[in-house]
Amino acid sequence: MNNHTDDKFGMKNIRTLGLVSFFTDFSSEMVFGILPYFVTSTLGLSRTFLGLLDGSSELSSYAFRMISGTISDKIGKRKPLVILGYGLSTISKPFFSFANNWFDTFLIRNADRVGKGIRTAPRDALISESVPDAKHGKAFGLHRTLDQLGAIAGPLAAFLLLQIVDIRTIFLFSLVPSAIAVLILIFLVKENTSSKIGNPVKIFSLFGKALKNNRPFVFFLVISGIFGAGAFNFSFVLLRSSELGVEKNYVPLVYLAINVAHAAIGLPIGALSDRIRKEFIILISYGIFGISLFLMSIAYDTSTAYVVAAVFGLYLGISETVQRAIIPRFVDPNLRGTAFGIYNLVSGIAFFAGNVIFGFLWDSFNLDVALWYSGAITMMAICGLILFIKKFKPIVL
């Protein structure tokens, strides 16, 4: 895409993909804002199971990102896998309406996240191939903005619907925006023809190359793994809001506060990360996560529940905006895809452990014990990151 017409076509494709993400996130966030309440109150399942549910589903997502990216490179096609991923998520979420036990819930949640894992890597490749390299920042920025607008609209829709229908009906309603997304994807999104990989790639040999003699990358993986083992999903923030007196119908507004803070911090923190070392930004995100732990402990009413949610959203927004941008700074350009795959795998395993442990400690002891555990692990990660900043400098290309 080198001429003006192609550029216009490419950005139109990006806007269309952005609409796909908008409607998909609209659907997903309708569900996720009420799912913790549904799991623990409607189905009567434990916090430990909620941690297992969140952790396993994210691990599934990370694992399938590695697989789908490699497959899309191999076959030279992006769109079929993107359709498969969005389609799987679309048909899975409404089945929450019929879930009656832990197995149903586990299967549906993981199916949805497997769909996300299948679509993410080829979708990002589709975005990058729609426009010239010089417009990648603009393209991904536009896509992310529309994605975040969907993340804000979803909880708001769930809140409004809860005033007139029950929680299971909302799961059925989630099919509507998600189906719109798939139809837009099938009929309006175009793709360039990608070249196939000529020779089979031995994934594990690439893993070895990315890790061998690369102390900065390995060190950062260890730090990320440590932090992930102490972190937890937003579901526990929503559970805490219920404990603080937020009624079921208003829990989606707590989730809305998380997503608004997440969206609001993205642009300014992205601009700041271009001016100072990105590792300092991650240090800030770890610190804000620590503050959210403290606030969860001392929160005492519904108003403070929203404060906790907003601070937690700031942590998510900073971390997700900057963390992946660190990887290319310490890895050979030819191995960056593999490095991201390793990072995703480590993050998924650590996040799985963190969620299960946090839920187990809250169930078996109390919230304060779980928060002390997360706080101690976070301090270890902060100390490790400070040492990392002092010890290693990014590769200058």
pLDDT(313) > 50 = yes
Lowest mean pLDDT of 324-328, 338-342, 352-356, 374-378, name the range: 324-328
Half-sphere exposure in the Cβ direction for 109 (13 Å, CA): 25
- pLDDT (0 to 100) of residue 5: 42
- pLDDT (0 to 100) of residue 388: 96
CATH topology of domain 1-194: Growth Hormone; Chain: A; (1.20.1250)
pLDDT(112) > 90 = yes
Which residue pairs, CB below 8 angstroms and at least 24 apart, start in 90-94? 90/24, 90/27, 90/115, 90/175, 90/178, 90/179, 90/181, 90/182, 93/27, 93/28, 93/31, 93/171, 93/174, 93/175, 93/178, 94/171, 94/172, 94/174, 94/175
Q: Does 1-194 match 202-397 in CATH topology? A: yes
> What is the widest separation between alpha-carbon atoms in the chain?
63
Q: What crossing angle do the helices spanning 278-298 and 367-391 adopt, rounded to 10°?
A: 170
pLDDT tens, position by position, 366-384: 999 999 999 999 999 999 9
The arithmetic mean of pLDDT across residues 55-80, rounded, is: 87
CATH topology of domain 202-397: Growth Hormone; Chain: A; (1.20.1250)
Structure tokens given for 364: 């078996």
- pLDDT (0 to 100) of residue 229: 98
Structure tokens given for 340: 């991201």
DSSP letter for each residue of 129-142? HHS-GGGHHHHHHH
The arithmetic mean of pLDDT across residues 178-203, rounded, is: 77
**pTM score, two decimals?**
0.91
Q: Which residue has the tokens 């700074």?
A: 329
Residues found in the chain: 397
Residue 245 Ramachandran class (φ > 0 left, ψ -120 to 50 alpha, else beta): left
Radius of gyration of the chain (CA): 21
- pLDDT (0 to 100) of residue 7: 66
- pLDDT (0 to 100) of residue 4: 41
pLDDT(1) > 50 = no
CA 123 – CA 133 distance, rounded (Å): 16
Q: How is the chain split into domains, by residue range?
A: 1-194, 202-397
Please provide residue 245's backbone torsions phi and psi, each rounded to the nearest 5 degrees: 105, 5
